[in-house]
Structure 1
Amino acid sequence: MHSLFEASWLIPASPLAISVFIALLLLLFNRTMNRLSKPVTFLSIISILTSTLISLFLLLSHESGIVLDWQADVLNQSLKLHLAVDKSSEVALITVGLIVILLLTTSYFRLPRKTGYVRYVTLVSFASGLIFLSLISSDIPQSLIGGFSLQ
C-alpha cells in the first residue's frame, strides 16, 4: 500500500488531466466531440472514481503524510506546491468525489445531451480536480493571498 501513498498525487491530477484533454479535443473537434457525450461522461466519471478510490484506500490503510513538496522560483516569485493527506482530508476527498460522481451520473440520465453537455461535463470534472487539489494542498490559498501585504 505504500506505493499507493506515493501515487496519491493522482487524486487531483486525474480529473484535471482528463478535463484538460477533453477541453483540448472539444476546441479542436467541436462538432465531433459534441456527438461523443457518452465516452466523455464515462472518462470523466472514471477519472473522478479513480481519485475517490485512491482516497478510500488511503483512508482504509490509515496512511497520512506529505505526498509532494515542490518549490520553484519563476520571475522573482516563489511557487510552492505542498500536497499532504491526512484522515480529515481523505474523508473530505471521498465525500466530494461521491457527490461529483452522483452529479455526473444524474446529469447523464436527466439532462439532454446536446451542444453544451460536453462542456458542462468537462467543467464539472475540472472543478472537481481543483476542489481535490485545494483539499490536499495547504499552499494554494496561502500562495494566492500570502503574496499581498497591507502596509
Structure 2
Amino acid sequence: MSDDKKTTPSLPILSAFTRKRGKGFLSFTTSELIAAIILIGILVASVFILFPQTKKRTKDVTAVDQVIADIQHAQAQAMGSLDSAQQKNIVFTIGSNAYSMSGKLRNLPNGVTVIATNLPGNTLAFNSLGEPTFGQGNRTITLTGDTVVTVHAITGMVERHK
C-alpha cells in the first residue's frame, strides 16, 4: 500500500469544509472554527432581537405555572389535613402582582398582575376532600395577557386557557 492514500471524512458533506494536513489527516482550520462560532452567535442574537415577545411570553407562562402549582399545593394541603373543618385558601388581590396563600404572600413576576376573578371574595378555598368551597360552576382567575386559569367545581382540577 502506498502512503499517499487519500483520506476522506466519514461524512461526505464534511469534505467541503476540511483541509488535508501533514500525513493525510483532515481537519478544520482555526479560522473556519472561529467563523462558525461567530455565525452561530449572530443567529442566536438575531432570534432574541427579532422575537422580543419571547421574554414576555416566558414571564407569562412562568406566572401561570406558579399560580397553578400553588392552587394544587393548597388543595393537597387541605386533603392532608387531619382537621376536616380546616380549609386551605388563596386570596387574590385584583390589580396586584401578589396573592396570599395560607397567610403567606406570593409574588408574581414583574409585569404580571391579577386582573380579575369570579371567586367569592376573590378567595379560593379547599375542604379536606380537596373540593373547592365556592359551590357550583367553574371559577376563573385572569392574569395579565388575557391568560385565564380555570378551577373546576367539585374536582378542583386546574387548567390554563390563552
TM-score, normalised relative to structure 1: 0.31
* Larger helix proportion of the pair: 1
* Larger strand proportion of the pair: 2
TM-score, normalised relative to structure 2: 0.29
Q: Structure with the greater relative contact order (CA < 8 A, sep ≥ 6): 1 or 2?
A: 1
